[in-house]
């Protein structure tokens, strides 16, 4: 009985805490809207693309003439000039104008280019997105190593605290995503990848919703890497059946094979391609919608519109929380479906089919 009361007390506390967090989030959304209505707007919607894209510095906010910016390291490699590393602050002067530094400068798209012609530059800078990636990695390590530690220390006790938040998600990924799609015998090999994938996407989707945060999971380079990894996991675990279905689809007339095989082969690449595009589009679109709604205030310069859009932004923000989770789920689900198709044992089904036919 005592435990029950304790739990009730705790849930009350967390309830209040979650209220505080949501109030804080609403406040964070309101501030830029109100601030925007006071500002002299120039280039009303230009900030949208700026927010959605990567940058060499992490710009949080402008308060009057003070800029809240973290200058991130620029790391460059060019075959002609070797490695160079310096702060991105060097690309701007006192008046916040772009200047060249060390023979490099930022072009109109904020790409680093060399002053001299004929010098190729490979940019490995820790950009805003890379910094965000590091932050999310640290967060993932912190959360899941803490949880793992608790599992090690109290193996048979019920989950507690942050552990009870993530345990159902882990069990869901195992029981509802991995096992039904990959099968009971082979799912274990892919669980670490699927879990890492899900939580990486989920955490970064949610982190991306914070005002001033980077749009990491809505960046096509990130979704590209994740899709490529799923592609590799799928095709390196593909069994004989899988390849036979692609290059010599059984039960199909020989004459159709020349059409079908290229389609199947193309399918190998369209699957991860769709993964890449889906995640990139849904997250980036969500950000653009929110920022566009905020931009309405810039355009109309009215308190009334400010209040209206703020309410709507809060509403979309809640939907974005949902989208963040759903997209992580979908990416993981499709990845496990592709892997499942690659490792599935079709053999027995066909044998049964043949037996059935012979009986008829």
Partner 1 sequence: MELLSPSLGLIFWQLVGFLILLFVLSKFAWKPILHALREREATIEDALATAEKTKKEMAELKAENEKLLAEARKERDRILKDATAAANHIREEAKAQTAKDTARMIEDARVTIETEKQAALAEVKQQVAALSVQVAEKILRAQLGSEQAQKEYVSKLIKDLNVN
Sites of contact with partner 1 (CB under 8 A): 49, 52-54, 75, 109, 122-127, 129-130, 133-134, 137, 140-141, 144-145, 147-148, 151-152, 155-156, 167, 170-171, 174, 188, 191-193, 195-196, 200, 219-222, 224-226, 229, 284
The least CB distance from residue 216 to partner 1, in Å, is 8
The least CB distance from residue 222 to partner 1, in Å, is 5
The least CB distance from residue 51 to partner 1, in Å, is 12
The least CB distance from residue 52 to partner 1, in Å, is 7
* Cβ atoms within 10 Å of 170's Cβ, excluding its own: 16
Query: Is residue 233 exposed (0-12), middle (13-18) or buried (19+ Cβ within 10 Å)?
Result: buried
Q: Which of 219, 165, 167, 232 is nearest to 193 (CA)?
A: 232
The least CB distance from residue 214 to partner 1, in Å, is 10
Closer Cβ to partner 1, 60 or 122, answer by number: 122
Closer Cβ to partner 1, 166 or 312, answer by number: 166
Q: Are 36 and 297 in contact (CB under 8 A)?
A: yes
Closer Cβ to partner 1, 229 or 246, answer by number: 229
Closer Cβ to partner 1, 129 or 297, answer by number: 129
Closer Cβ to partner 1, 191 or 337, answer by number: 191
CA distances (Å), origin 323, targets 6, 159, 202, 210, 348: 34, 27, 10, 14, 39
CA dihedral 301, 304, 310, 315 (to 10 degrees): -130
Q: Which of 284, 278, 295, 275 is nearest to 320 (CA)?
A: 284
Q: Which of 280, 247, 282, 283 is nearest to 266 (CA)?
A: 247
* Helix, strand or coil, per DSSP, at residue 324: helix
The least CB distance from residue 299 to partner 1, in Å, is 22
Closer Cβ to partner 1, 21 or 232, answer by number: 232
In 3-state terms, the chain is what percent helix, strand and coil (to 5)? 65, 10, 25
């Amino acid at each position: 009985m005592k435990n029950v009361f304790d739990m009730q007390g705790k849930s009350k506390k967390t309830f209040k805490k979650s209220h505080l967090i949501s109030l804080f989030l609403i406040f964070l959304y309101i501030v830029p809207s109100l601030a925007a209505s006071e500002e002299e707007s120039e280039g009303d919607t230009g900030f949208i693309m700026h927010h959605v894209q990567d940058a060499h510095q992490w710009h949080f906010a402008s308060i009057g003439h003070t800029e809240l910016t973290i200058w991130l390291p620029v790391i460059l490699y060019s075959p002609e000039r070797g490695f160079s590393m310096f702060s991105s602050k060097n690309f701007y002067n006192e008046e916040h104008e772009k200047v060249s530094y060390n023979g490099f400068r930022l072009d109109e798209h904020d790409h680093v280019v060399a002053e001299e012609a004929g010098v190729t530059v490979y940019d490995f800078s820790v950009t805003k997105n890379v910094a965000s990636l590091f932050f999310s990695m640290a967060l993932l390590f912190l959360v899941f190593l803490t949880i793992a530690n608790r599992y090690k220390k109290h193996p048979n006790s019920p989950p507690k605290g942050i552990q009870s938040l993530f345990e159902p998600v882990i069990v869901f990924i195992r029981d509802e995503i991995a096992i039904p799609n990959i099968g009971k015998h082979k799912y274990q090999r892919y669980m670490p990848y699927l879990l890492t994938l899900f939580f990486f996407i989920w955490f970064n989707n949610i982190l991306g919703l914070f005002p001033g945060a980077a749009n990491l999971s809505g960046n096509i380079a990130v979704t590209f890497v994740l899709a490529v990894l799923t592609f590799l996991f799928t095709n390196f675990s593909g069994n004989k059946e899988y390849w036979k279905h692609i290059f010599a689809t059984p039960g199909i007339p020989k004459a159709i094979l020349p059409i079908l095989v290229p389609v199947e082969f193309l399918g190998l690449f369209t699957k991860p391609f769709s993964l890449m595009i889906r995640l990139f589009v849904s997250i980036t679109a969500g950000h653009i919608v929110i920022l566009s709604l905020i931009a309405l205030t810039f355009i109309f310069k009215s308190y009334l519109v400010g209040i209206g859009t703020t309410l709507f932004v809060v509403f979309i923000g809640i939907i974005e929380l949902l989208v963040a989770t759903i997209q992580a789920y979908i990416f993981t689900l499709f990845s496990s479906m592709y892997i499942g198709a690659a490792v599935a044992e079709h053999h027995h089904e066909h044998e049964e089919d043949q037996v059935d036919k012979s009986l008829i």
